[in-house]
Amino acid sequence: MNNADVVVIGSGIGGLSCAALLARYGFDVIVCESHAIAGGAAHAFERDGFKFDSGPSLYSGLSYTPSANPLRQVLDAIAEDLNWVTYDTWGCCLPEGDFDTTVGADQFCEVLSRLRGQDAVAEWRQLQRVMTPLAQAAVAIPPAAVRYDLGATITAGQFALSMARHAPHILKLTGAFSQIMNGVVRDPFICNWLDLLCFLLSGLPANGTSAAEMAFMFADWYRPGVVLDYPVGGSGAIVDALVRGLQKHGGQLMLNAHVEQVLVENHQATGVRLRNSKEIRARRAVISNASVWDTLKLLKETALPKSFQQQRAETPECDSFMHLHLGIDAQGLRSDLACHHIIVNDWERGVTADQNVVVVSIPSILDPSLAPPGKHVIHVYTPGNEPYALWQGMNRNSQEYQQQKQARSEVMWQALERIIPDVRSRCDLTLVGTPLTHERFLRRHRGSYGPAIPAGKGFFPGSTTPLKGLLCCGDSTFPGIGLPAVAASGMITANTLAPVSKHLQMLRDINW
């Protein structure tokens, strides 16, 4: 039987951020990961010399420090870094036409002027003016300073003055972004555009996305000199950096270690039982990085109050994904092809409609080492808009499944053909993923993107639970979905267990 101070269930970016930081704080930590590869939704995998990102690839605020991005703060805290390629342009294929745009405010105004005229530009500028103080408020207190106990009066209390200065704006951040947007924006294209950005951030349109999340994005994407960051080696390099940080501080990562049950004794979480019946005892805490629904499955019915379980089980969920992972011949392709593209088929259907929005990422444009010479690695996906119900209960070996796979992936091929018209004839390797693939490889309930908690109508819960010794982190906890958010949740959870003196030392070390 193994023992540790803390057992973390799951090695997503949330779990690894939490575990690496706990190890830095001096805790003896074991991470149990069900999959053979660490990283959860952000894991990388290799086939025939092509290195694929299974999920995320769009990042910012990571290539410099100090940064408001909580993931950068975690990397700083564990003294890990990686090499970043920076770039600023991404491609858009919208009902209005195809164009490249850059992060930063000025070029987008050129696009607006061309597509919608000067009134639209004036509206955008006005929105930026409205968002500026909100953006400052959104970063007034670094997540690194937050913890869920009285120690927060000291660690976060240091930022009280700055928060007081931003107090009127902080209140506005708690509502939905649409409340701010609707007060400023009339132009239908800008409304659609903002809805799209919201959907890509949170899985919900502007009326469900929190103003804080968008303010954070405005602070990041529309500051002078802004760039996007891609990690050399692919998204797996971020996972590797967190694992290095964990291990150099004495923590352990166990792969193929599926947790079947959280052990509870005397109303306290005391460890975990793995699928192979092995038990690992946790002297201080068990932290679940699994989704809210998957975490409940690990607990006996009597472990938590019924009302709490019911409330958590009823958390609304975002839909799932279709994926295409391709290895293609890159000969003769445009040399200025952008890495990321977003395709919207029909604004009228709304950005959350299935088969309507597609995302394309070609990261070997930024880091050629991800593909063999003369090749590109491509990930196309429908972002959190594929209904799981269409796939539920299907036999993956059946003809029906194969046919549905082909039919439902067609929208991704067509989107990609807007960028690389002859892509089908260029493929050396084609992998099609469905919500069942997503569910299986990511060990995620119904292959969901995460909780769909509309801003203004509910809050992502904090990391503590009514069961002593059981905490949670990751995209089912505050502040929500996306790498910056889950890194923040991991950090806040680790801080909650750490002595205040060590927490303060960490803040000094990362220059906050």
Give the nearer residue to ligand FAD in terms of CB position, either 151 or 203: 203
Question: Residue 475, interface with ligand FAD (CB under 6 A)?
Answer: yes
Q: 3-class SS at 137?
A: helix
Q: Which string of x and - marks every residue 309-328 that binds ligand FAD (by CB under 6 A)?
A: ------------x-------
- Contact status, residue 158 vs residue 179, Cβ threshold 8 Å: no
Question: Residue 233, interface with ligand FAD (CB under 6 A)?
Answer: no
Which residue in 8, 12, 341, 434 binds ligand FAD (CB under 6 A)?
A: 12
The least CB distance from residue 68 to ligand FAD, in Å, is: 14
Q: Which string of x and - marks every residue 13-52 that binds ligand FAD (by CB under 6 A)?
A: xxx----------------xxxx----xxx----------
Which residue in 165, 223, 244, 258 binds ligand FAD (CB under 6 A)?
A: 258
The least CB distance from residue 443 to ligand FAD, in Å, is: 4
Rounded alpha-carbon distances, angstroms, from residue 34 to 255, 289, 325: 6, 11, 23
The least CB distance from residue 493 to ligand FAD, in Å, is: 11
Got the DSSP string for 178-231? HHHHHHH---HHHHHHHHHHHHHHHSS-TTTSBHHHHHHHHHHHTSTT--EEEE
Give the nearer residue to ligand FAD in terms of CB position, either 124 or 216: 216
Determine the Cα–Cα distance for residues 219 and 226; give it in Å rounded to an integer. 10
Q: Which string of x and - marks every residue 267-306 that binds ligand FAD (by CB under 6 A)?
A: ----------------------xx---x---x--------
> Which phi and psi (to 5°) does residue 324 adopt?
-125, 120
> Which phi and psi (to 5°) does residue 293 adopt?
-70, -40
Give the nearer residue to ligand FAD in terms of CB position, either 192 or 295: 295
Question: Residue 209, interface with ligand FAD (CB under 6 A)?
Answer: no
Which residue in 116, 147, 325, 443 binds ligand FAD (CB under 6 A)?
A: 443
Got the DSSP string for 364-420? GGT-GGGS-TTEEEEEEEEEEEE-GGGTTT--TTSHHHHHHHHHHHHHHHHHHHTTS
Q: For tokens 């502007």, what's the residue?
A: 206
Give the nearer residue to ligand FAD in terms of CB position, either 7 or 93: 7
The least CB distance from residue 23 to ligand FAD, in Å, is: 17
Determine the Cα–Cα distance for residues 376 and 372; give it in Å rounded to an integer. 8
Which residue in 11, 73, 101, 155 binds ligand FAD (CB under 6 A)?
A: 11
Give the nearer residue to ligand FAD in terms of CB position, either 220 or 294: 294
Which residue in 221, 381, 391, 478 binds ligand FAD (CB under 6 A)?
A: 381
Question: Residue 474, interface with ligand FAD (CB under 6 A)?
Answer: yes
- Contact status, residue 129 vs residue 377, Cβ threshold 8 Å: no
Identity of the amino acid at 190: I
The least CB distance from residue 180 to ligand FAD, in Å, is: 22
Determine the Cα–Cα distance for residues 297 and 258; give it in Å rounded to an integer. 13
Which residue in 241, 366, 370, 483 binds ligand FAD (CB under 6 A)?
A: 483
Give the nearer residue to ligand FAD in terms of CB position, either 216 or 321: 321
The strand pair at 89-94 and 340-344 is best described as: parallel
Q: Which string of x and - marks every residue 401-440 that binds ligand FAD (by CB under 6 A)?
A: ----------------------------------------
Looking at 9-17, 113-121, 186-194, 366-374, which segment touches ligand FAD (CB under 6 A)?
9-17
Comparing CA positions, the residue from 27, 24, 35 lying closest to residue 7 is 27
Give the nearer residue to ligand FAD in terms of CB position, either 151 or 363: 363
Question: Residue 442, interface with ligand FAD (CB under 6 A)?
Answer: yes
Name which of residues 114 to 173 contact ligand FAD (CB under 6 A). none
Kind and range of the H or E run holding 483: helix 483-497
Kind and range of the H or E run holding 90: strand 89-94
Determine the Cα–Cα distance for residues 359 and 92; give it in Å rounded to an integer. 10
CB within 8 Å of 265: residues ≥ 6 apart: none
Rg over CA atoms, the chain? 22
The strand pair at 2-9 and 29-32 is best described as: parallel
Looking at 10-18, 311-319, 495-503, 504-512, which segment touches ligand FAD (CB under 6 A)?
10-18
The least CB distance from residue 480 to ligand FAD, in Å, is: 8
The DSSP secondary-structure symbol of 43 reads -
Determine the Cα–Cα distance for residues 505 and 116; give it in Å rounded to an integer. 51
The least CB distance from residue 290 to ligand FAD, in Å, is: 4
The least CB distance from residue 99 to ligand FAD, in Å, is: 21
Site for ligand FAD, rule CB under 6 A: 9-15, 32-35, 40-42, 55-58, 258-259, 289-290, 294, 298, 321, 381, 442-444, 450, 474-475, 481-483, 486
